[in-house]
């Protein structure tokens, strides 16, 4: 399908923003921020995304998923422009707010757009495969941009953020030309509230969706704390030069792309329950083991950690889309994201403070234990409902 190719292009251009994000933490630290402040920034990001998630999801259900994704990409472009122009705490804060709004407009809308395009061609059974490919194209962008971005960062720290601004503009242009027949609903307040209330209620009473929320909380905390607070300083501490951090990210992204492309095959072969077990166990155990390592032997474990996260998105998206009401698709998907984001956002500042107090290695151990326990609760809820 030609329209899917345009979505793949959008994902690839978005992935090129790794030119900046590959050194996110180092960029913040170099401008005087500490770990607690970085944790607060990402906490504000997650809470803001949560606040905007449900209303933007309902807007997408009324005005169209394509328009919602395009608007979201525009806000992300503005975010990286702010990071470039105002490299201080206030500039970072407003950049995080813009990024949060941008992702809120895309949450639920992107997957819903893909599902609707496939459903029109009676290809909805390929949804998980396509979601995996979308993720793989994004990771291909990381493979290309990560090494280049880290080298540029060493000499011109702000330039990767300006480049990322243009990458998101290109992504917005790619999604804008997707041809999709969408029947707009009357944008009345009553229609908006009916979709909003109905979508939220349908989500909260579905135990399988709530189980995915618990798994999402566990793994989002695991990924965000490691990726945004720990990963880059940790790599420097084990002897990796800043210019080579991007190359590490490229290797990780290549492995993630392989997993993302083949996630649907693996999941179909081993089943949803065992897939969820792997999604929870691999990142949790990998982080715990990393807490005992202080050498280059950590690199294979970092690879395994991110491969576990790459397996998560296609599987969780497929489980969620099977449970969602087609008429409230974006609203329900956004409600799931809201619940995950609001809780994770409130937790992140505490994790940042904990890293300042206890150090990286102790925090890694606690992080792995936390994600395993919360993820296991979600897995038990999923199994109880599925077998009930």
CATH (domain of 221): 1.20.1250.20
d(CA 96, CA 49): 10
Tell me the HSE value of 145 on the side-chain side, using a 13 A CA sphere. Answer: 24
**pLDDT for residue 84:** 96
Rounded Cα distance between 41 and 5, Å, is 34
What are the Cα distances from residue 202, in Å, to 57, 197, 298, 334, 343?
Answer: 14, 9, 43, 12, 20
Q: Between residues 242 and 79, which one has the greater pLDDT?
A: 79
pLDDT at 94: 96
Q: Per-residue pLDDT averaged across 47-74, rounded? A: 81
- Top pLDDT among 328 and 366 is at 366
pTM comes to 0.72
Mean pLDDT computed over every residue of the chain: 86
* pLDDT for 189 beyond 70: no
The range of the structural domain enclosing residue 115 comes to 2-183+192-387
**How confident is the model at residue 385, as a pLDDT?**
61
- Predicted pLDDT at 72: 94
pLDDT at 209: 86
Q: State pLDDT tens for residues 235-274.
A: 998 888 888 888 888 888 888 888 878 887 888 888 888 8
The total number of structural domains in the chain stands at 1
The confidence score (pLDDT) of residue 326 equals: 67
Instruction: Band the pLDDT of 182: cuts 50, 70, 90.
Output: low
- How much is the pLDDT for 327? 66
Give the per-residue pLDDT at 329: 65
Between these two residues, 375 and 249, which has the higher pLDDT value?
375
Q: What is the pLDDT of residues 10-60, one digit of tens each?
A: 999 999 999 998 888 899 999 999 988 988 898 888 888 888 876 776 777
Banded pLDDT at 288 (limits 50, 70, 90): very high
Instruction: Please give the pLDDT value at position 249.
Output: 84
- pLDDT value at residue 75: 96
As a whole number, mean pLDDT of residues 144-170 equals: 94
Give residue 181's pLDDT.
63
**pLDDT of 193:** 63
Percent of the chain whose predicted confidence (pLDDT) is above 70: 90
């Amino acid at each position: 399908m030609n329209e899917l190719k345009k979505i793949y292009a959008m994902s690839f251009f978005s992935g090129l923003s790794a030119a900046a994000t590959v050194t996110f933490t180092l960029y913040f630290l170099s401008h005087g921020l500490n770990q607690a402040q970085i944790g607060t920034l990402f906490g504000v990001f997650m809470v803001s995304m949560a606040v905007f998630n449900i209303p933007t999801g309902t807007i997408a259900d009324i005005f169209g998923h394509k328009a919602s994704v395009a608007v979201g990409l525009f806000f992300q472009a503005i975010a990286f422009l702010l990071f470039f122009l105002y490299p201080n705490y206030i500039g970072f804060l407003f950049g995080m707010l813009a990024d949060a709004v941008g992702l809120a407009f895309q949450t639920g809308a992107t997957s819903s757009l893909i599902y609707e395009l496939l459903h029109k061609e009676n290809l909805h059974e390929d949804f998980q495969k396509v979601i995996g490919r979308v993720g793989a194209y994004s990771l291909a962008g990381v493979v290309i941009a990560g090494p280049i971005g880290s080298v540029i960062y060493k000499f011109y720290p702000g330039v990767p953020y300006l480049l990322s601004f243009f990458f998101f503009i290109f992504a917005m242009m790619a999604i804008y030309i997707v041809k999709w027949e969408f029947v707009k609903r009357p944008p009345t307040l009553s229609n908006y509230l009916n979709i909003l209330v109905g979508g939220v209620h349908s989500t909260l009473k579905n135990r399988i969706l709530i189980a995915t929320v618990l798994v999402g909380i566990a793994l989002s905390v695991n990924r965000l704390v490691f990726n945004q607070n720990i990963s880059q300083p940790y790599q420097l501490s084990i002897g990796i030069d800043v210019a080579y951090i991007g190359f590490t990210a490229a290797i990780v992204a290549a492995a993630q792309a392989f997993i993302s492309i083949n996630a649907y095959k693996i999941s179909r072969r081993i089943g949803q329950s065992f897939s969820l077990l792997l999604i929870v166990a691999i990142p949790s155990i990998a982080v715990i083991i990393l807490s005992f390592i202080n050498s280059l032997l950590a690199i294979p474990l970092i690879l395994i950690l991110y491969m576990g996260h790459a397996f998560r998105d296609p599987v969780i998206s497929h489980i969620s889309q099977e449970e969602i009401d087609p008429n409230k698709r974006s609203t329900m998907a956004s409600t799931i994201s809201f619940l995950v984001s609001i809780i994770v956002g409130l937790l992140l500042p505490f994790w940042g403070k904990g890293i300042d107090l206890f150090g990286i290695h102790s925090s890694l151990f606690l992080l792995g234990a936390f994600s395993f326990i919360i993820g296991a609760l979600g897995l038990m809820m999923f199994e109880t409902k599925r077998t009930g």
